[in-house]
Structure 1
């Protein structure tokens, strides 16, 4: 037993002794106080019950005069039971006036009870009984002092006797511990100087011993593995077999690996497997079973065995079945082996190829290039690259080479060579197709640009024609209609008192002329708004929005930023037409109650025209295609201006159209 364990036991004994001592110290005064206090309360209630009953009888006999019979009351109070020295009884009438007080004055602290005096169900006075329990406090203090003495005696008794026995046991255990420590030191010296790994595990398979050789072999320090399961250093495939062996030992069965050497694999901290030879032994203690394993790294031996076995069947299965060519190349670039696929493709025999240098077959790289390439692959470990090989007849063919440097094969390079003639042909066809597609795309782009130019010319011609027609409507037809309206008004004034039928017909003509003049004005404005030519786009859009709101009863707002924004004449009419088309779509399809038109130019000169509404919108599935006539025309106009048109819409969330022009 170690000093630490002994110290712990001493602390436990001291705490138990202290617990018993405190129990005795607290129990004695506590019990005394509880008993005396209960007796005092019981006596008080008994005295009060007797005295109150006697005075109640007196009050029933003389209900109006009983309080004046002081001698009789005093006699009743002092009869039956004698008051204690520390008790006092006080009788008072219904008004609280003290009639008589018998007994010594009560010293604080006191217990007091008050009881009513009844006559025919009504209260005619009170009896108050008081009892001082100061003596109980004094007695409790004395009992407490006695409890302290008793507790100290208990503490000393319980502490001294176990400590003597503890010292005797400790001395015996120390001798046994010294013997065990000497044996452990000898075992530790052997374990720590051993070249093989020595691992000790308990009956559950948890590691309890781990020597320096094991640290070097597996990469774990002793602190990392103590308490960890032994399966941590075994690959997953051995775990079930290991756990079954542990269970057999725990149930008393034998494990056939004890006393034998078995070969399996260990697992390092870096998760690398390596071959090991394991010898197991086991022993029992009264409390636990233990296992010891001596582990030897047999990697070098296994490598030698594998090299011998591999020499007999060198890549035969994989290499000979491969449709790709294969080389085994030494450090200098000379072929050590080839497969049948490369023999067929190159036209050389196997005997001719073995011993040739790479430069004899590679039609692309020089000897210096090949030497540099070999050095680079040795550093990287692997590479994939394309080159050209030469057949026996001098014909070249493209090859994809996949090469790996094998350190465990005396520095050889293993190369797989794939004929990529067909791949190159397909790549060439793809390149030609891409060039043709690029040419046709360019031609289509030129056609599109020409179409845009023609469309722009057509737009310009149409606008000029609209402008001419609007001017003729305004200058000629409107003037003639105005003259006709004046003549009609003159006729109305001339025949005002005449034929009523003629008068009515003239009024109808006048009304029709008014409507016709309004229609002509509206047509002229739609063809070419005069305000656009005279006052610019901002004023024209504000006028368009106001007329739209008045005509459709849809609330429409217009905003512009900056307020003094000026738009070039070549942009004004296309932008005006796009707003006109958008508002027409809102009126026809959107079912909106509000719409907003905004014209904004930011600090970079980017011009954004947006038209939004709170209508029903459309989902992506229901949205009309890019070929719908209204949007298609607006997109063409935006493209001719060097900008783009964006449409944002969701079902039930309205629509936003943005025209962005750099």
Structure 2
């Protein structure tokens, strides 16, 4: 089987070479040659007579005429051949040819030769169209390979390079002629050992090899390439197809993106530290102001209240009319002391760590009623207990901000504070009011400092913050803690 395939390949190659030589000759030379062959056939026929079968040679000459000179010349030659054979038979062998024999031979011979020319021309025309289409396709493939952005190289089984495009020369940094001189079976010709090793492994195993690596070119420049190497089998011959794409620009942009991501992560981490520090400073400042209000200003107001009370008693004992003014001063000072105490407790919830969030929020409800003169209810579901001072202080500050927004922006007259279990059995703190409410769009787009602080405190706890309008009117703020709380 292998021997027959080899003989066929050799024969096809010989026919192609002969065709190339004959098609390269001028048509007049070819016509003269074919007419000379026809004249020799006439001469042989005149000598040998009808007893020597020369018909096959006539048909071969017609085939050459149709193939190399076209259909018109072949039909003319068929008429000349039929006429010549008839005249030779009548002229050289008159005793064997009656008048109707000559007419019959001319008609039959011309019909056979004409039919043969028609069939040969039809077959050659179809073959010619197929060869032209194949040639166009081959040129298109060659143009695609030549102009491809990826480097493409093809090697025969014996190691010789058959195809190499300009992109391969550009990526590898060497002339195209040098690539055609490569042989993957000869180490001395190769300058990129990783490609050589991968190519040999692909040819040995028959499996495709894909990898992305930095390759060193002839000029010593490093190029990132995505490479694919595989074996292609055609008949009894194997080829190695090597395709590599320069992805250096992509790698550079990817490295830049990764560096930007790292820098962004560092910046976000620093921003988080700054925000936590800011909250810590804010918390410390509020606690300090609360302590000073309670310890300093509260003590001064207590002294003023005591002195005004003494003054009131003295004026009363003396029966002086201004004792009523002294009494009003004492009342106002006591009111100021009460409000200062409530304000100090809001800024510095000292009982938060000792008595817990629920107890502090209950006292905060009273503080809201005393300061803002509105109704404020508190409800704590039995069994709900908030553990951890950091969790409690952040929830308390969120509650303070939500109540402040309800009074200042929502103009609420009634606020309800709730500590309950959510439907998913997670701890939840709710602040409900009957104010003018807030739309979902405003809640999501809110960029106020208070809203941002609330969201950040919730994120610190890993909690979910929900701000939205209530169906019955007003606003609902809910902080749902993670399961661990």
Between the aligned partners of 1:409 and 1:351, the Cα distance in structure 2 is: 29
Match status 1:649 vs 2:468:
yes
Report if aligned partners of 1:561, 1:599 keep a CA contact under 8 Å in 2: yes
Residue of structure 2 in register with 1:599 after alignment: 419
The Cα shift of 1:449 comes to 1.6
The Cα shift of 1:516 comes to 2.9
Residue of structure 1 in register with 2:340 after alignment: 523
Between the aligned partners of 2:444 and 2:329, the Cα distance in structure 1 is: 40
Match status 1:386 vs 2:212:
yes
Residue of structure 1 in register with 2:155 after alignment: 329
Output aligned runs, 1:111-150, within 5 Å: none
Between the aligned partners of 1:352 and 1:571, the Cα distance in structure 2 is: 70
* Aligned partner of residue 442 in structure 2, secondary structure: coil
5+ unaligned residues in a row in structure 2: which ranges?
1-125
Output aligned runs, 1:68-107, within 5 Å: none
Residue of structure 2 in register with 1:619 after alignment: 439
Change (3 A) 1:616 1:436: same
Report if aligned partners of 2:401, 2:450 keep a CA contact under 8 Å in 1: yes
The Cα shift of 1:448 comes to 4.0
The Cα shift of 1:471 comes to 2.7
* Aligned partner of residue 655 in structure 1, secondary structure: strand
Between the aligned partners of 1:601 and 1:547, the Cα distance in structure 2 is: 25
The Cα shift of 1:522 comes to 1.0
Residue of structure 1 in register with 2:57 after alignment: none
Match status 1:318 vs 2:147:
no
Report if aligned partners of 2:298, 2:341 keep a CA contact under 8 Å in 1: yes
Change (3 A) 1:419 1:367: closer
* Aligned partner of residue 527 in structure 1, secondary structure: helix
Residue of structure 2 in register with 1:77 after alignment: none
Between the aligned partners of 1:476 and 1:392, the Cα distance in structure 2 is: 88
Between the aligned partners of 1:306 and 1:408, the Cα distance in structure 2 is: 21
Residue of structure 1 in register with 2:180 after alignment: 353
Report if aligned partners of 1:611, 1:657 keep a CA contact under 8 Å in 2: yes
Between the aligned partners of 2:210 and 2:397, the Cα distance in structure 1 is: 61
Change (3 A) 1:571 1:369: closer
Change (3 A) 1:393 1:431: closer
Change (3 A) 1:425 1:490: same
**TM-score, normalised to structure 2's length?**
0.55
The Cα shift of 1:475 comes to 3.7
* Aligned partner of residue 437 in structure 2, secondary structure: coil
Q: 1:456 aligns with which of 267, 272, 280?
A: 280
Q: 2:291 aligns with which of 458, 467, 477?
A: 467
Change (3 A) 1:306 1:375: farther
Change (3 A) 1:598 1:492: same
The Cα shift of 1:463 comes to 0.7
Change (3 A) 1:316 1:442: closer
Larger Rg: 1
Output aligned runs, 1:172-571, within 5 Å: 310=134, 314=138, 315-330=141-156, 334-343=160-169, 346=172, 347-350=174-177, 353=180, 356-357=183-184, 360-361=189-190, 363-365=192-194, 369-374=198-203, 378=206, 385-387=211-213, 397-402=223-228, 415=241, 417-420=243-246, 423-428=247-252, 430-432=254-256, 434-435=258-259, 438-439=262-263, 441-442=265-266, 445-446=269-270, 448-450=272-274, 452-453=276-277, 455-485=279-309, 487-488=311-312, 491-492=315-316, 495=319, 503=321, 505-528=322-345, 532-533=350-351, 535-549=355-369, 555-563=375-383, 565=385, 568=388
* Aligned partner of residue 596 in structure 1, secondary structure: strand
Change (3 A) 1:320 1:637: closer
* Aligned partner of residue 430 in structure 2, secondary structure: strand
Superposed CA offset, 1:349-397 (max 9, x none): 5486166217754725375543333466x556xx754356665667664
The Cα shift of 1:455 comes to 4.3
- Greater share of residues in helix: 2
Report if aligned partners of 2:232, 2:241 keep a CA contact under 8 Å in 1: no
The Cα shift of 1:616 comes to 3.5
The Cα shift of 1:438 comes to 1.8
Output aligned runs, 1:40-51, within 5 Å: none
Between the aligned partners of 1:649 and 1:349, the Cα distance in structure 2 is: 70
The Cα shift of 1:586 comes to 0.8
More off after superposition, 468-477 vs 402-411: 402-411
* Aligned partner of residue 515 in structure 1, secondary structure: helix
Change (3 A) 1:566 1:489: farther
Change (3 A) 1:541 1:391: closer
- Greater share of residues in strand: 1
Q: State how many pairs are aligned.
A: 347
Residue of structure 2 in register with 1:44 after alignment: none
Change (3 A) 1:433 1:507: same
